[in-house]
Structure 1
Amino acid sequence: MAAITSAEYAGGPQAVTAVETDTRKPLKGALFVALVGERFDGHDYIAQALQQGAVAALSSKSLAELKAAGQIVDKQKILVVDDTLRALGQIGRANRARFRGLVAAVTGSAGKTSVKEMLASILATRGAVAKTQGNLNNEIGVPLSLLQLNDQHVAGVFELGASAVGEIARTTRMTLPQVAILNNAGSAHLEGFGSLERIVQAKAEIFEGLLGSGSAVLNRDDKNYPFWLTFCQNLSQKPDIISFGFHESADVTAKNVQSNESGSSFTLVLRRPGDAGKPAEVAVHLQFAGRHNISNALAASAACFMLGLKPSAIAEGLSAARPVGGRLQFERYGHGLTCIDDSYNANPASMVAALDVLAGAEGVGVAVLGDMAELGGTAKAAHFELGAQAAARGFASVFAIGQFSAEVRRGFESIAAKGDAECHAFTDKAAAQIPLVNELQARLKRGEGVCVLFKGSRSAGMETLKAAVLKRMGFASSAANSDRGGKV
């Protein structure tokens, strides 16, 4: 590792069994990387990490600087580099370069995790797959994810996220995917990028790290498709380009679609770019709710098709894929109450997709919507539009919660007629609990089946409101209540 990172190192050979950045995790046999953040400095924990069993530490401070800061350490256990974050990336990239299996990467403003799970499930028909865990999709998380790869894996699937231009360019060059998916572009993280145009450009960076020429997977339904197509065609190493979506010219598409709240069934149509012959077709049962998840499945299918997997394996993997917690999970609690937990994160596009799922669900619809974060100067307008979108779908009521709840209500009232459904606005979750419980209980007592959606950005913590409401109503919030779906 000293050679990989060009570190100053006075010690001898040491076996490293893991790389960690957090002293709260097991450190025995690990290399501790001292990262510097806005509210912490990992260099303050180097001595502690070594005491907890780390065999060495990566530091951007000299031994003298560490000693001056009170970090009494064995100099033979310190690797000094110019930049620990860059060094972590170099270590992750080196591990990826040694890997001989298939590697796929995915980015987009919405749906990254669902596409990743579908990709991993398809590739698992060939053997063990390493994949991004949780939200480890930034310049810290990507190299840590790449370090999972070993000889037992046949493939790796990695999410690449970003909050600024240039970040995906750096992480894709660590990942070196044979195939890269650009799922879509929207106003997520707009605050960091400054404009939607910069987001569109930043997402295209994923293709700059393709191994060799590789394959680029583009969303034919996205209005930015022409820009991304030109971007790929202008790369020095031109990738094979395959498109997916419901557009009539998409290479990978779906027909004979049937959907309900448990998922969808459809015929997957696969055609290689430029192939004028008859496309391959295979039946798929997908246990993810919503039309947008069919699109996510098409993205994963296109990538695996370019990696050489057979249509039958793609269908098998898609049918076995399951949504992860907090992403459009239907939970049934008896007495007519159903919850849709989509609380993990939110942006304008994913909010509309979730509202569409609620609109198509059985029972009276109640939308509980937390703030969408990181929208910068567009936040007020985006929340106003969210309220209008909710009103247009005719839900029984809407509960808007957070800093921009009044904007959601204003948008709602600009569409909804007086006397129709009402939008309740609360600045915090605690104030919303009892009114929401009262409304749900009243509807259930009248014999109405109720479907309630909980959704908001990660910072909104809507899962805690869901848990509190269910507890007040005498229901246990448990994964045991999740509807894992079935064939439709």
Structure 2
Amino acid sequence: MDISVSDIAKVTGGEYIGDETALRRIVSGLTWDSRTIMPDNIFLAMPGMRVDGNDYVRAAIQRGAGAVVCTRMPTENVIAVAGEFACPMIVVDDGVEALEKIAGSWRDRLHAIVIGVTGSTGKTSTKDLLSSVFSQRFKTTATQGNQNNEIGVPATILAADEDTEVLIVELGMRGMHQIEHLCTFVKPSIAVVTNVGVSHMELLGSRENIAHAKSELLSALPDTGYAVLNADDEYTPLLENFAHLAERGVTVHSYGFSPEAETHAQNVSYDAEACASFEIVTGDAAPVPVTLGMPGRHNVLNALAAYAAGINMGIAPDDIARGLAEAKASGMRMEIEHTPDGVTILNDAYNANPDSMRASISTLMTLEGDGRRIAVLGDMGELGSDEYQLHVDVGTFAAQADLDMLVCIGTLSVGIKAGALAADMDAARVKSFTGVDEAIAFLEKNVQEGDLVLVKASRFMELERIVKGIMQR
């Protein structure tokens, strides 16, 4: 991103502090972390969860910031430092709103095709697959990690260069109208919705409401847009209805395991690390062989979504297959790690919901190995009034998967334990701990050479500490 200070002042409507000549300065890139400032970056100073960026304006200026957008009037001393370094400042009322306005202005200058991705599960992995596929032919910018909120989405847009050809934006959702708002400046022309699950049930109350919120991405498409939807998801017809896709003439391309899906998989098999090889079939075209480097059956579905989007953009099937093979998942998502003493860890600790829990347990059971299969599962958040039963259901599935050991961590995970025991899993194979530290102590002593260990929970549980404990034991 290259933008003038004058344009920033204009789109944000903030109070300008600085020499008039500095309004013509071109600044490049934006950060809200003063430690990562590069010369000529915009430093966005606003309150955060732990610190207030306004307290670091002086440091940002001294590190070479090209301009500062702040949410608090700077002191005379800071203004003097800004004058010394010839750094213009713009004072705004709301930092997030200013960020969105800057991103919106930059989005209007881009000529890129914008792909929006959302869904209850799989959106980050699908975004990673899309990025790898489209990079085979186009200059592509995509969301880093899962920066899919009101800060990460505009940051993704601002990360795109003027010559970016494809911009892939992951869109999270914590309530009705959030995706609708984000799309006012994302302006997608292609949309991928992976599924409608029970994540955020606590906020929205029903899967129908979740579908309505997810459909906001589809509603943001122009009538000439292209929607890639999961044919295996029972809520997909509801998505289409909420967004009035048929009435508007929006092209819909379905994908899934079902042979009725326009793009579907056949002849699926898995290697020792649960990575799939399969054929993709689209219409009357010849089947395209694909091998993934990301484990799990659910990633076959995600790959089908990426394939459907790639075909629409005219990417050759062989190039799409290569992109799918080269794709790497973002951190702590189905990462396979090996300890020096021969323990295999399936690190899926970044987040969890009931659907992704079942998918990860299935992947654990697909891994090749002679050791015990141990699932270390923690609490799942934002599930609403049914949270206990949803944990019980995961426990039932874990028992039916025939795990060798189930380790439950947290207050909500007592439901997982209860579900497993009710499904006749041997009580000696089910362990329960209130906190992470005691679970680490147990696992450090009891995990053995050759064991295969899944680690998964919602983000607030921080179960990556379990992975670290096993790796360093």
CA contact (8 A) 1:232 1:238 kept: no
Q: Residue 439 in 1 paired to residue 446 in 2?
A: yes
Deviation at 1:67, TM superposition (A): 4.6
- Partner Cα separation in structure 1 for residue 383 and residue 459 of structure 2: 13
User: Are 2:419 and 1:408 equivalent residues in the alignment?
Assistant: no
SS in 1 for 2:294: coil
> Does residue 324 in structure 1 map to residue 330 in structure 2?
yes
Distance 1:125 1:282 in 2: 16
CA–CA distance in structure 1, aligned partners of residues 460 and 401 of structure 2 = 26
What's the TM-score once normalised by structure 1's chain length?
0.86
1:424 aligns with 2:436: no
1:11-90 correspondence to structure 2 within 5 Å: 11=20, 12-37=23-48, 40-61=51-72, 63=73, 66-67=74-75, 72=79, 77-90=88-101
Question: Which of 261, 279, 282 matches 1:267?
Answer: 279
Q: Report the counterpart of residue 462 of structure 1 in structure 2.
A: 463
Structure-1 residue corresponding to 2:387: 379
Alignment partners' CA distance in 2, 1:268 and 1:91: 41
Normalised by the size of structure 2, how large is the TM-score? 0.89
Work out the CA distance in 1 between the residues paired with 2:395 and 2:185: 41
Displacement of 1:294 in angstroms is 0.4
Of 332, 337, 341, which residue of structure 1 is paired with 2:343?
Answer: 337
Q: Aligned to 1:299, which of 298, 301, 305?
A: 305
Amino acid at match of 2:436: K
- Do the aligned residues in 2 keep the contact of 1:175 with 1:209 (CA within 8 Å)? no
Shift of 1:428: 1.0
2:161 is equivalent to residue 150 of structure 1: yes
Within 5 Å, give how 1:195-344 maps onto structure 2.
195-210=206-221, 213-233=224-244, 237-260=248-271, 261-271=273-283, 278-333=284-339, 337-344=343-350
Distance in 2 (CA, whole Å) between partners of 1:60 and 1:236 is: 44
- Report the CA distance shift for 1:365/1:175 in structure 2 as closer, same or farther (over 3 A): same
1:171-210 to 2 correspondences below 5 Å: 171-210=182-221
Deviation readout 1:207-250 (Å, 9 max, x if unpaired): 23335631111111111011112233358854211111122321
* Paired position in structure 2 for 1:484: none
Amino acid at match of 1:396: D
Cα drift, residue 366 of structure 1: 0.7
Q: CA RMSD in A?
A: 2.5
Distance in 1, Cα, partners of 2:139 & 2:437 = 44
1:39 positional shift: 5.4
Q: Any residues of structure 2 matched to 1:61-140 within 5 Å, and which?
A: 61=72, 63=73, 66-67=74-75, 72=79, 77-140=88-151
Ranges in structure 2 where 5+ consecutive residues have no aligned partner? 1-7
CA contact (8 A) 1:344 1:455 kept: yes
CA–CA separation in structure 2 for the residues paired with 1:79 and 1:391: 58
Q: Does the C-alpha gap of structure 1 residues 279 and 204 become closer, same or farther in structure 2, counting only changes over 3 Å?
A: same
* Deviates most, 204-213 or 73-82: 73-82
AA at the equivalent of 1:331: E
- Answer with 37-46 or 191-200: which moved more: 37-46
1:397 pairs, out of 385, 399, 405, with 405
Tell me how far 1:465 sits from its aligned partner: 1.2
- How far apart are 1:179 and its partner, in Å? 0.9
Of 236-245 and 390-399, deviating more is 236-245
Q: 2:356 aligns with which of 346, 350, 372?
A: 350
Task: Please give the per-residue CA displacement for 1:250-276, whole angstroms capped at 9, x wherever unaligned.
Answer: 1111112122334111111123xxxxx
Structure 1 unaligned spans of 5+: 272-277, 473-488
Deviates more, 1:75-84 or 1:179-188: 75-84
* Native 8 Å contact 1:262 1:287 kept in 2: no
Matching residue's letter, 1:351: M
Distance in structure 2 (CA, Å) of the matches to 1:230 and 1:280: 32
Query: Could you give the per-residue CA deviations for residues 143-184 of structure 1, whole angstroms, max 9, x where no partner exists?
Result: 111111114533221211121222111222222222110111
Partner Cα separation in structure 2 for residue 38 and residue 198 of structure 1: 29
The number of equivalent residue pairs is 455
Q: Quote the Cα distance in structure 2 between the aligned partners of 1:456 and 1:462.
A: 7
Are the structure 2 counterparts of residues 412 and 71 from structure 1 closer, same or farther at C-alpha, using a change threshold of 3 Å?
Answer: farther
Work out the CA distance in 2 between the residues paired with 1:313 and 1:102.
Answer: 19
CA shift in 2, pair 1:262/1:380, >3 Å: closer
The residue type equivalent to 1:343 in the other structure is A
Query: What residue is the counterpart of 2:4 in the other structure?
Result: none
Deviations 1:255-307 (A, max 9, x none): 12122334111111123xxxxxx245311111222211100001111111222
